[in-house]
Amino acid sequence: GNSVTQMEGPVTLSEEAFLTINCTYTATGYPSLFWYVQYPGEGLQLLLKATKADDKGSNKGFEATYRKETTSFHLEKGSVQVSDSAVYFCALTLKTSYDKVIFGPGTSLSVIP
Amino acid sequence: NAGVTQTPKFQVLKTGQSMTLQCAQDMNHEYMSWYRQDPGMGLRLIHYSVGAGITDQGEVPNGYNVSRSTTEDFPLRLLLAAPSQTSVYFCASSPRQGAKTEAFFGQGTRLTVV
């Protein structure tokens, strides 16, 4: 079936460190890929997305590239800030699934000064 | 710009009680859904709706009912609350434009069943 796997953490980094959160997927057809972020006490919000192979999504210094050959969509940021502390969810949707979103388990990130 | 509004934000229920979690969106989105979030399990789809009058089951529908009488509202009903339903519940909506669009989420309802 369709699924998303991501490192669960928790991940603790010092401010200005480099961040990578791995995400791989299994899907029939050609999914669209998303990263959502959940700040403490809030709902999820879209961070970035990519809708076809080799697309790069970017927002707020975060980037992820849709790699069809490795079925991956790893999230990266060159220099994290304390304000980036949150839970990050990798997700996919399929055209055949009426926009149902399939989420990974989430990765908790804490950035310390 | 309200987006997706969920009420209440917090709720404590006794086992066997019933309640309704409210969800409303003001973006005229066709697609709405309910998820529950549990530690280590990400978000799991409970029920969804592709338009007014149309609902269907998701991954974990047991113990929950939904209805969609209007485009704006999509309430989730717990008929006989059980401790296993202790969770954080999120409502989401999206325009029905295929698989490339993002979902918009409410701020969640934290439910505890004792």
CA angle A14, A76, A98 (to 5 degrees): 130
Average pLDDT over residues B57-69: 95
Q: What is the pLDDT of residue B102?
A: 86
- Mean predicted lDDT score pLDDT of chain B: 92
Percent over 90 (pLDDT), chain B:
82
Please report which helix (H) or strand (E) contains residue A68, including its range.
none
In A32-91, the residues whose Cβ lies within 8 Å of chain B are 32, 34, 36, 41-46, 49, 51, 89
Q: Show the tokens assigned to B69.
A: 């009488």
> Which one-letter DSSP state was computed for residue A98?
T
- pLDDT for B62 beyond 90: yes
Q: Please tell me the predicted confidence (pLDDT) of residue A2.
A: 86
Chain B interface mutation, best of A2, A90, A95, A98, highest count of B Cβ atoms under 10 Å: A98
* Option in A32, A44, A46 nearest B99 (CB): A32
pLDDT in tens, A4-44: 999 878 999 999 999 999 999 999 888 999 999 999 888 89
Residue B36 contacts residue B43 (beta carbons within 8 Å): yes
Q: How confident is the model at residue B42, as a pLDDT?
A: 83
Give how far Cα B91 sits from Cα of A55, B5, B50, B85, B105, Å: 29, 8, 14, 16, 6
Place of tokens 């969800």: B23
* pLDDT of A16: 97
List b or e across A37-62, with b for residues whose CB sees 16 or more CB atoms inside 10 angstroms.
bbeeeebbebbbbbbeeeeebeeeeb
Q: Which of residues 59-88 of B touch A (CB under 8 A)?
A: none
Q: pLDDT of A53-90, one tens digit each? A: 999 999 999 999 999 999 999 999 999 999 999 999 99
Assess whether pLDDT exceeds 70 at residue B1: no
How many residues would you count in chain A? 113
Q: What is the mean pLDDT of residues B62-88?
A: 96
HEC per residue, chain B: CCCEEEECCEEEECCCCCEEEEEEECCCCCEEEEEEEECCCEEEEEEEEEECCEEEECCCCCCEEECCCCCCECCEEECCCCHHHCEEEEEEEECCCCCCCCCEECCCEEEEEC
Please report the pLDDT score of residue A99 as a whole number.
59
* Chain B CB contacts of A51 below 8 Å: 99-100
Predicted pLDDT at B97: 61
